[in-house]
Amino acid sequence: MAVPGGWELNMRTYLVVIDETEEAEVALRFAARRAMKTGGAVEILVVMDRAEFVAWGGIQATMEAEAREHAEDVVARALDTLGEEGQLSPAIHVRQGAAAPMIRAAIDANPNIAALVLGAAPGGNPGPLVSHFSGSEAGNLPVPSMLGPGALNREALDRLSCGR
């Protein structure tokens, strides 16, 4: 059943926030494997920092174009990670601004998002998004968050995500 905004109801979608960290790759692989197992989909979100204002418009435009190009490179590498998950065609969104509000807006915009999937950095600090969404904001999310330990190897990750 189609809903406003073009979404198809009942398509379990896993939202993954991608950056250049290894834990983001873990989160993407986990989400992709879960989507394949459940007949769902993956939505990739890349959040770029808003460029600081520069008095000369041409320099500002160049900085924003370079940031978008960098984000597209991050997405291209993420899609390479999904190479073996050939049947998946993730929706990709590049947004500019603070990450937490952009993630919240993405969840609010798509009624099919079943979970926010994040990768936790190995070692001390799990990362700002994991800290935010597993801390004070954890009880306010309309969907569960799934945290993949960034230190997992591919075999362990596949075993966990596919129930093998």
**Structure confidence at residue 83 as a pLDDT band (50, 70, 90):** low
Give pLDDT, residue 105.
94
Residues 6+ apart with CB under 8 A from 31: 14, 15, 16, 42, 117, 146
pLDDT digits (tens, 9 = 90+) for 20-72: 788 888 888 888 888 888 889 999 898 877 655 556 667 767 766 776 777 67
More confident residue, 15 or 50: 15
CA 107 to chain centre: 11
Mean pLDDT: which of 34-38, 74-78, 117-121, 159-163 is highest?
A: 117-121
SS (H, E, C) 35-86: HHHHCCEEEEEEEECCCCCCCCHHHHHHHHHHHHHHHHHHHHHHHHHCCCCC
Q: Tell me the average pLDDT of the chain.
A: 79
Question: Does 8 have pLDDT greater than 50?
Answer: yes
Nearest to 146 by CA among 17, 5, 10: 17
Q: Write down the pLDDT at residue 16.
A: 94
SS3 label, residue 116: strand
| pLDDT range class, residue 132, cuts 50, 70, 90 | confident
Distance of CA 32 to the CA centre of its chain: 11
Q: What is the pLDDT of residue 108?
A: 94
